[in-house]
Structure 1
Amino acid sequence: MQISAASAPGSERANEDGVFVGLNSVVVLDGLSAPKDLPMGCEHGTPWFVREMGVRLLAAAEAGQPLSPSLADTIRDVAGLHSGTCSLEGGAVPATTVTVLRERDDQLDYLVLSDSVLLLDGSAGLEVLTDKRVDDVAGSLAADALAVPGGSSEQAARISALVTAQRQVRNRPGGYWVASTDPTAAEQAITGSVPRSAVRRAALLTDGATRLVDTFGELSWTELLDLLQEQGPATLIERTRQLEESDPVGARWPRFKRSDDATAACRTFITQ
């Protein structure tokens, strides 16, 4: 599988995204950021968690194993790596979104857990696969955090209140689901298979790489795919950064972070 990919941090902090590419599979992860003033039960941190998850999940995908059970096994295995050193009870633990695309014989298998985006463009049109249940959690607190200048101490306090509320319903019925310590979260993933011949191009995107569409309204999903195909993922991220820098405090485009970690991977298929 020939993949074009790019990933860049949104700040001076370590990149909490990850992209992992094999011969037939690609895995894109978006680690959930934790405000510095909130407790964290893991001493290793989110970038470590994302790396361990990505390497193991890619290996399972490359081995041809079913994607949802593979994700459950990966969550269980990574939890076992640090259950003896870290406090993994409750919500104060690393977590990540998960997007996987695998080429298998004449099929494409996919998995999407949480709010990263998988785009499949082909004979049936453009399909946008994502799970936005997190947006339904603590909506009033989210609105409060977006109502004050970005980067201000007031916004930081409101984001901490939002994340605290989100943690209380993370990986619970009626809440939203991510890969963390509970293997049953894998059962909540969007999964499926499509004929490879029916797909012309595909993209896997963390939410930091979808801002040109869903935050800034500068592109449609089709135009974003065109940009990826013609100029590559690095250009997508560069254009995103330009708009972020033009609106540093979110006056025009309210958002939780001035710049977010951004990762994009794209694949164009040759059709006969």
Structure 2
Amino acid sequence: MTVDVEVEVAERPGVGVDGKPRPSEDVVSVLPNAVVLLDGATSLLPGLRSGGWYAGVLAGQLAGRLTGYPDMDLADLLAAAIRAVAREHDLTPGESPSSTVALLRWTDEVVEGLVLADSPVVADTAVGVRVLEDDRIANLRRSGPGYRRRLREGAGYGEEHVTALRSSATEVGRFRNTDDGFWVAEADPDAAYEARRASWPRGTVRRILLASDGVACGVDDYGIFPDWDAVFAIAADMGADAVLDAVRAAEESDPDGARWPRPKRHDDQALAVVAFR
């Protein structure tokens, strides 16, 4: 393989739902021919293993398969990795930790992307920016106001927020890995075949980024970046960490979540920028 590729990664932990620091639940793995970015879902249920633990274990399974089976279909590869984690750790669908998945793999001829849940892959190509995203969880219809209305009304973060967040998570959990809901990596390998896919001829691709929602929110929710072109520009001019800085500064300006209601003051942030020379 002769493709000349440079990968820059920026990561930063957020805080827990209690507002206290804790390790990031985002995981990024950079391989010779691929990048894996996972965002483990924060657990709100006592006794459940953390999403960060799950993301780390799944990343290991994915890395081994991406290296050992470079031509394997990405959905088949993801399904096998999910199945292996579930078997090894006795995980049960609907009662297990989960993670988003963003995969990027390349050869001299083609660049492939796969997205499951809300961690997008964005390509800067010869014909413009192309966004590979899975917006099913964002478009999920919720029956009640949830925690967002409390925050908009100025209630802020605290014990009552955690209670409202747990109630919202229980409601959303009913739609996890269902046809009328959304799909995420958990204990059901069939979820891999619900992922969104895209591919681009290698010669048309300049740069690609993979982002957890703690970064994508700067475009999708906060609007501090007018579009993904702006994210590419900042990353090119000042580095990937500058993108994270801008998102964190916006959150610091809204410490109680009244302007931008969100589960935590600061989510974990992970961004990988892949440049094809």
TM over 0.5: yes
Separation in structure 2 between the aligned mates of residue 137 and residue 15 of structure 1, nearest angstrom: 26
Q: 1:229 to 1:40 in 2, by over 3 A?
A: farther
Q: Does 1:28 align with 2:28?
A: no
- Which one-letter code corresponds to 2:137 in the other structure? V
- Which one-letter code corresponds to 1:19 in the other structure? V
Match of 2:187 in 1: 181
Question: Which among 146, 149, 152 is matched to residue 144 of structure 1?
Answer: 146
1:59-102: CA deviations, max 9, x gaps? 2223312111000000011112211xxxx335231100000111
Q: Does 1:50 align with 2:55?
A: yes
Match of 1:243 in 2: 250
Separation in structure 1 between the aligned mates of residue 251 and residue 217 of structure 2, nearest angstrom: 9
Structure 2 unmatched runs, 5+: 16-20
Match of 2:22 in 1: 13
- Which one-letter code corresponds to 1:50 in the other structure? A
Separation in structure 2 between the aligned mates of residue 25 and residue 205 of structure 1, nearest angstrom: 15
Do the aligned partners of 2:42 and 2:52 also contact (CA within 8 Å) in 1?
A: no
Q: Does 1:230 align with 2:240?
A: no
Separation in structure 2 between the aligned mates of residue 57 and residue 89 of structure 1, nearest angstrom: 20
Do the aligned partners of 1:9 and 1:260 also contact (CA within 8 Å) in 2?
A: yes
Do the aligned partners of 1:6 and 1:233 also contact (CA within 8 Å) in 2?
A: yes
TM-score after normalising by structure 1: 0.91
Match of 1:82 in 2: 89
Deviation of 1:46 after TM superposition, in Å, equals 2.3
Deviation of 1:255 after TM superposition, in Å, equals 1.8
- Which one-letter code corresponds to 2:37 in the other structure? V
Do the aligned partners of 2:215 and 2:270 also contact (CA within 8 Å) in 1?
A: yes
Separation in structure 1 between the aligned mates of residue 172 and residue 83 of structure 2, nearest angstrom: 22
Report the identity percentage: 35
Could you tell which deviates more after superposition, 257-266 or 167-176? Answer: 167-176
Number of residues paired by the alignment? 261
Could you tell which deviates more after superposition, 238-247 or 145-154? Answer: 145-154
Deviation of 1:151 after TM superposition, in Å, equals 1.4
After TM superposition, the structure 1 = structure 2 runs for residues 200-219 of structure 1, keeping only pairs within 5 Å, are 200-219=206-225
1:147-192: CA deviations, max 9, x gaps? 1134133322221111101111211121110000000000001123
